[in-house]
């Protein structure tokens, strides 16, 4: 997919302005994997619809650049999913191929003041499906944007591009956002690395919380954790923070797509069998 980057052929030099070539060749935008990937566009490069976001990824521990609230929602879902092994945002498409597609379809290729632009895909995912690694391309667009004929034309160029690469392409809109799940992920992610517990502290914290939720199976978790603070003589909020850390570490699970954390009760929590048998894998701070 990156043959167009190095070395850059003459047609690209003729079509693209030096600033774009600099991103592709000198700055190596759109190259690399995991933590070493560099997005072609960053939050500083383009105006966005709504707020822009720079945030660390739990998949590869790299700061990602997201150009809208909808891109953030999509990213959070994929970043949280255990089968996703890499996420590359603002991924550049080969301009020679997109130009050829545009000509075939009779569609104007994206350009600014007569200068052809490099098209990008919002998210390129690498997914581990039962040991087989596949890639999927995701375009993130608001439904209202799809009422614009020009945007639909560019989406078709992008779709045809990935079809030619034999990679599945998906359109992600706000209709695909499971609101409760995204809210719960936002609630947990800041606590994934909030503690860096040694093995004995991990087990101690897990067993303490497990005993508390088994003792009070019908109460709200905030009430039960507050009771633990009082009984242990700790500062208010201590054990709720521990619980959020344990939840982020998958020590306990619940139906995150259906139950919002604000109404979470102890009966909703399911302790991990791996944590109960001490066969779990703890994710340490990077």
List every span in the chain annotated with CATH 3.40.1350.10.
10-176
Express each pLDDT in 132-182 by its tens digit: 999 999 999 999 999 999 999 999 999 999 999 999 999 999 999 999 999
State which fold the 10-176 domain adopts.
Answer: Trna Endonuclease; Chain: A, domain 1 (3.40.1350)
Task: Determine the pLDDT at residue 8.
Answer: 44
User: Residue 105 pLDDT > 80, yes or no?
Assistant: yes
Q: Are strands 120-129 and 84-92 parallel, antiparallel or unpaired?
A: antiparallel
Question: Which residues does 229 contact at the CB level (< 8 Å), separation at least 6?
Answer: 235, 236, 237, 238, 239, 240
To which residue do tokens 């909020």 refer? 237
Express each pLDDT in 218-247 by its tens digit: 999 999 999 999 999 999 999 999 999 999
Cα–Cα distances (Å) from 282 to 50, 78, 119, 221, in that order, read: 36, 20, 39, 23
Express each pLDDT in 33-92 by its tens digit: 999 999 988 887 766 555 788 888 989 989 999 988 999 999 999 999 989 999 999 999
Alpha-carbon gap, residue 284 to 278, rounded angstroms: 16
Question: Which residues does 282 contact at the CB level (< 8 Å), separation at least 6?
Answer: 197, 199, 202, 249
- CB of 240 within 8 A of CB of 246? no
Residues belonging to the chain: 286
Q: Does domain 180-276 have CATH number 3.40.50.150?
A: no
Average pLDDT over all residues of the chain: 88
Express each pLDDT in 170-187 by its tens digit: 999 999 999 999 999 999
Q: Are strands 115-116 and 84-92 parallel, antiparallel or unpaired?
A: unpaired
- Percent of the chain exceeding pLDDT 70 equals 90
List every span in the chain annotated with CATH 1.10.10.10.
180-276
Residue 62 is encoded by which pair of tokens? 């790299």
Alpha helices, DSSP H only, in 108-175?
149-164
Higher pLDDT, 272 or 23: 272
Residue 271, beta-bridge partner list: 252
CA dihedral 16, 20, 23, 29 (to 10 degrees): -70
């Amino acid at each position: 997919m990156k043959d167009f980057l190095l070395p850059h052929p003459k047609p690209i030099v003729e079509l693209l302005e030096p600033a774009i070539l600099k991103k592709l060749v000198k700055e190596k935008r759109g190259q690399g994997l995991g933590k070493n990937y560099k997005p072609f566009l960053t939050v500083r490069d383009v105006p966005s619809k709504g707020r822009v976001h720079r945030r660390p990824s739990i998949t590869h521990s790299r700061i990602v650049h997201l150009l809208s609230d909808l891109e953030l929602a999509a990213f959070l879902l994929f970043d949280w999913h255990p089968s996703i092994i890499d996420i590359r945002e603002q991924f550049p498409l080969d301009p020679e191929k997109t130009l050829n597609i545009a000509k075939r379809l009779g569609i104007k290729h994206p350009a600014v003041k007569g200068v052809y632009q490099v098209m990008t895909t919002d998210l390129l995912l690498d997914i581990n499906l039962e040991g087989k690694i596949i890639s999927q391309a995701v375009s993130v667009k608001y439904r209202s944007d799809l009422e614009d004929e020009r945007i639909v034309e560019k989406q078709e160029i992008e779709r045809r591009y990935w079809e030619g690469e034999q990679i599945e392409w998906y359109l992600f809109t706000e209709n695909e956002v499971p609101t409760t799940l995204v809210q719960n992920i936002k609630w947990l992610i800041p606590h994934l690395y909030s503690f860096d517990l040694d093995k004995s502290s991990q087990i101690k914290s897990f067993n303490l919380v497990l005993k508390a939720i088994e003792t009070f199976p019908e109460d709200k978790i905030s009430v039960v954790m507050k009771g633990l603070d009082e009984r242990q003589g700790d500062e208010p909020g201590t054990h709720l923070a521990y619980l959020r850390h344990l939840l982020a570490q998958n020590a306990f699970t619940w139906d995150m797509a259906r139950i919002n954390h604000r109404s979470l009760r102890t009966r909703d929590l399911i302790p991990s069998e791996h944590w109960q048998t001490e066969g779990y894998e703890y994710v340490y701070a990077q």
